[in-house]
Amino acid sequence: MFDLSILLSIELGLFGIGITVFTVLYSFILNKKNELSIFTELKRKQKKPGKTILDQKIIFAGRYISSAKRINIHLLVLIYYTFIISILSILLICFNGSLSKEASDVINIILSVLSILSLIYILIMLIKVTTRYFKEVQIE
């Protein structure tokens, strides 16, 4: 069983990191969408038939946007999850004196398990992103 202040610190730290990474990735997505619209407009004006470097850039930008959006969805899940655990921890700290010892212990155990699950979720996502990273940056 974790001390609630430690649990709260961990969850708020994960919440802050999640918000930061989400915001940075969101700005990258918007930038890449702007590039994609420019490339698409250039392609529309281009008279060359067949595959060109511009086509490759359009495909790459689309894949990048899709990949980044998937990662951001997972970040949103983590952000909301850690926020809820943080709020529940704050409420338990505030109302700790009015709850029975058994009820307080049960809620503390539940929050501890939920916190551990958020860390496991982060580990799984880290493994997925790392695997994808090494696959995508591999030079053929």
Give me the residue spans of the domains in the chain: 4-136
Residue ranges of the chain with per-residue pLDDT less than 50: none
Tell me the pLDDT tens digit for each residue of 30-69.
999 999 999 999 888 887 777 788 888 999 999 999 989 9
Tell me what pLDDT residue 2 has. Answer: 64
CA distance 15 to 51: 44
The two tokens of residue 16 are 């802050």
- Contact between residue 24 and residue 132 where contact means Cβ atoms under 8 Å apart: no
> How many other CB atoms sit within 10 Å of the CB of residue 89?
26
